[in-house]
Chain A
C-alpha cells in the first residue's frame, strides 16, 4: 500500500542552543523551534551573566561605579566609562577642558576599532573563516598594549573619570597611537581581501538576517544594526558630545539591512575611526586633562600637601564622595554597539538613587527573532554575529 505522504505525522524539534554554545557569543541561550533546519521560532533567554550592576550603583558613590562600568561591554570598557562619566557630569554640570575632551574622543575611537576587531573576528569565525579571527586579534593586541600604556590595564581601564581623566597621556602615547592608526587602514584592507568579495562570504551574508528600516525603528535598534537598514542616526553627529563636532568623519549607511550591510558598515566605521584618531592626534590641544572643580574632582597630590582647602576636598571626595543636586540626567553616547545611555537619578545623596543603563546589545537583541524566523540555523548564527552583542552588557 503506498504511503500517503500528506498524512505522515511530523513534529517540530525544540533545540536548546546555548548558554554553552560556540557561537552565542558568551552565555546567550536560544530556544529554537526547528522544522528540519528551518527556524520557526527563536526565544532568547538572557540573564546568565546577570550581576545586578544597576542595583550595585545604588550602594556605591558616584566615583566607585566607574570600575563596574568596565565590566558591562567588556570589549569597549573605555566607552562605558565615558558614557557613565558624561551622565554624571551632566548631573553636576561640570565643564571639561578641551584637552580632556579630545583625549576622550581619541580613546573612544580606538576602543571602537578594537571592539569592531573582536566583532569581525568572531563573526567571520562563526561563518567558518577562522583565519580572519587571528588577523583581527593581532591588531587588537596592539590596541591592548596601547591601553596598557595609557592606564596600566588591558581590560578594565577605568581611564575616564568624572570631570576628566585618570591621568594625562603618558609621554610617547600620541606617537604610539599615531603609528597604530596609520597602520590600521592597511590591516583593514587585509581583512577585506579575505571577505568582502569572497563569493562564499557574499552568499552567507547577502539577503540574510534582513530587517527593514521600519522594523529597525520599531525595535529601537541603534548603532550599525540600525544604520544597516539605512537610518542615518549616529549620536556623534546627531547629538555631538565631547566635541565630536570638531572632527570630520562620515557615517556609513546600508540600504538592505542584511548581514552584509552591517558587515560593511562596521568595516567602514573602523576606517572612519582611524580618521578621527588621526585628527585628534594632530589637533591635540594643550591644557589640563581634568576639570579644576575640586568639589567633584580629586585634587592633585602636590595641592593636597600644601593647601588646607585641597586637603579637605580630597578627604571628602575619598571618604564619602560628592553630593550632586537633586534631579536626574540621561546621557547617551554612540558606543561601538549602538546607543549606550546612562540614566541617573539623584536624591541629593552621595550614591545615585537609581542608575539605569540603556544597553545597545540588549535592545538590539530584540531584532534577532525578526531576522531569522523562517530561515536556516546557519543564518541564525550569521544574524547573531551581525548584531554584535556582548552578554556582559545584555545582562548587566
Chain B
C-alpha cells in the first residue's frame, strides 16, 4: 500500500478521486443549502421531510433523476448532445485542483495556478453552447447564443479583476498568494484597490456561473430553461452539478485570492484549523451568491452585455491602473502598512 502511494500517478489519482467525491458531497449539501436559504428568504421553510432537516432531500432527488427517462430529441446531434453535460462538470472540478485547501494540501500546486483556473473556466462555455446547439431546439439555441456572448465578455473582466492582486503578490501560484496574505494582510484589505477588485471579481464570478441576476442562458421566464430545455434525467442533473461545482470553485478561488485562503488565527499552531477557516469562508461567499440570486430581478440580454463591456471592463482596467499607480508612487506607504 505504501509503495503504491509512492507512485506519483496513483497518488494523484487517489487524491483526485478524493477531491471529486468531496466536491460531489458538497454539491449535494449546497443544493440543500440553496433550497433552505431560498426558503427562509421567501418565508418558507424549504425541504424538511427527507432525513433530519431535509438533509437527504438531494439524495432523494438524485435517485428520482436516475429513474427518469433519458430523452434525446430525434433531431439532436447525439454525440454532442451527450458530451455537453460532461463538459459542464469537468472544468469546475478540474480548476478546483489548484486551490490550496489548507497549508498541507492542494491537489496540484504549480506556479501558474491562476492561469489554470482561468483557462478551465473559459472551457465551461462550451458545455452550454454545445448543449444549446446540439439540442436542435429554438429555446436551447437562444440560450446557447446568450451564453456564448455572456461568458466571453465576463471572462475578460474576470481575468482583469484579478490582475491587480497578481501585481501586488508578484506570483501566479495560489499557494504563494495565500501564504503572502497570511504573513501580511488579506488582499481584500489592501487599500484602495483590494476591495474594488474583490467586488468586481465577485460580480464576474456570479456572471460566469450563470446565476441570477445573470442567469440569462436559462432565463426561465423567457427561454423556458434555455440551453437545458431538452435535457432530462441525469444529463440534466450534470448541468446542475456543474453549476454548483462552478460556484464552489469560484468561491474557493475568491477565498484564496482575497480572503486569505485557509489563513486565520492560530492556524500556525493547529494547521487543521485551516480547513475550517477555508470552508467557512467559502460558504460565506456561497451564501452571498444565494442571497443575491433570491433578491434581484434578472438583467436583459443587451443590458447584461452593456454592463459587462461598458462598466465592468473599464472598471477592472481602472482598478488595475489605480493599483499600478499606488504601488509605484507610494511604495513607502505600502511597505509601512502592509509590510511589502
Contact = CB atoms under 8 A, between A and B. Distances in A.
Nearest to A201: B297
Contact of A198 (B138, B146, B297): B297
Nearest to A202: B297
Contacts of A127: 221, 297-298
Query: Max chain A CB contacts within 10 Å: which of B221, B296, B298, B300?
Result: B221
B215 A128 contact: yes
Contact of B221 (A36, A138, A200, A381): A381
A378 B301 contact: yes
Contact of B298 (A135, A200, A377): A200
B299 interface: yes
Interface in A118-140: 124-131, 133-135, 138
A204 B297 contact: yes
A37 interface: yes
Contacts of B44: 134
Interface string A185-219: 00000000011001011011000000000000000
Interface string B16-47: 00000000000000000000000001111000
Nearest to B307: A203
A15 interface: yes
Nearest to B295: A131
Contact of A128 (B42, B139, B219, B223): B219
A37 B142 contact: yes
Interface in B215-233: 215, 219-224
B48 to A, nearest CB: 17
Given A130-B294, A134-B42, A13 B300 contact: no
A125 B142 CA distance: 20
B212 interface: yes
A376 B223 CA distance: 12
Interface of B: 41-44, 138-139, 142, 145-146, 212-213, 215, 219-224, 294-303
Contact of B300 (A22, A126, A204): A204
Interface in A97-133: 124-131, 133
A131 B138 contact: no
B43 A381 contact: no
A200 B222 contact: no
Closest 5 pairs (CB-CB, A-B): A128-B298, A129-B297, A134-B42, A23-B221, A126-B221
A379 interface: yes
Given A128-B221, A131-B42, A198 B296 contact: yes
A379 B300 contact: yes
A45 interface: no
A378 B222 contact: yes
B213 A138 contact: no
Given A127-B298, A128-B212, A129-B298, 11 more contacts: A23-B220, A23-B221, A37-B145, A127-B221, A128-B296, A131-B41, A131-B295, A204-B300, A378-B219, A378-B298, A379-B300
A203 B224 contact: no
Nearest to B42: A134
| Chain A interface extent, by class | 20 to 34
Given A198-B296, A204-B297, A128 B213 contact: yes
Interface in A154-208: 194-195, 198, 200-201, 203-204
B138 A13 contact: yes
A381 B297 contact: no
Given A128-B213, A130-B42, A200-B213, A15 B222 contact: no
A129 B294 CA distance: 7
B132 to A, nearest CB: 13
Query: Max chain B CB contacts within 10 Å: which of A126, A204, A378?
Result: A378
A201 to B, nearest CB: 5
B301 A200 contact: no
A356 interface: no
Contacts of A379: 300
Contacts of A201: 297
A130 B44 CA distance: 13
B138 A22 contact: no
Given A128-B219, A200-B213, A378 B43 contact: no
Query: Max chain A CB contacts within 10 Å: which of B146, B212, B300, B302?
Result: B300
A200 B216 CA distance: 14
Contacts of A22: 220-221, 224
16 contacts: A22-B220, A125-B221, A128-B221, A131-B294, A131-B295, A134-B44, A135-B43, A203-B303, A204-B303, A376-B301, A377-B222, A377-B301, A378-B222, A378-B300, A378-B301, A380-B222
Nearest to B306: A203
B138 A15 contact: yes
Contacts of A125: 221
Contacts of A135: 42-43
A135 B295 CA distance: 12
A128 B219 CA distance: 8
A23 B142 CA distance: 17
A21 interface: yes
A376 B302 contact: yes
A249 to B, nearest CB: 30
Contacts of B297: 124, 127-129, 195, 198, 200-201, 204
Contacts of B215: 128
A150 B331 CA distance: 75
A390 B260 CA distance: 53
A191 to B, nearest CB: 12
Contacts of B42: 130-131, 133-135
Contacts of B299: 200, 203-204
Contacts of B220: 22-23
Nearest to A125: B221
Nearest to A24: B221
